[in-house]
Amino acid sequence: MDKIRVQNLRFYTYNGVLPEEKKLGQQIALDLELALPLAKAGQTDNVLDTVSYAEVTAKVQEFVENNQFDLMEALVSGVLDVIGADFGQQLTSALVRVRKYSVPMAGNYDYIEIEMERRFDA
């Protein structure tokens, strides 16, 4: 299946279970992977034959910046809901990864990542 990927969308959010996370906030990054047939768009060179990743990114940005969650799982699920509601008819599936860099737990690591995928009846 053909795919469009948008990598490393960065946001400063106030998501998390702990009060400090909600008060101080932290940086997160999202990856979007959109599966859909792209052969027609490749032949026609017409944006109407694909999904506009600019529009998808704008919708995701609006959602992330205007919502707050305890769990990254809820954030990712909400992003998938937005993608499905607005672009699900064009897509076969969407995969979203979120990375949280400042997690208040012991250990030596770069980030925590959540990945969820949703299939659509295109």
The full set of domains in the chain, from first to last, is 3-119 (3.30.1130.10)
Q: In the structure, how many helices (H) and strands (E) does the chain have? A: 4, 4
Backbone angles phi, psi at 72, to 5 degrees: -65, -30
pLDDT digits 0-9 by tens, 63-98: 999 999 999 999 999 999 999 999 999 999 999 999
Q: pTM of this prediction?
A: 0.92
**Res 122 pLDDT > 90:** no
Which of 2-11, 65-74, 101-110 has the weakest average pLDDT? 101-110
Q: Which residues are catalytic?
A: 100
The CA-to-CA distance between both ends of the chain, in Å, stands at 13
49-69 in b/e burial notation, b at 16+ Cβ within 10 A?
Answer: bbbeeeebeebbeeebeeeeb
**Res 121 pLDDT > 90:** no
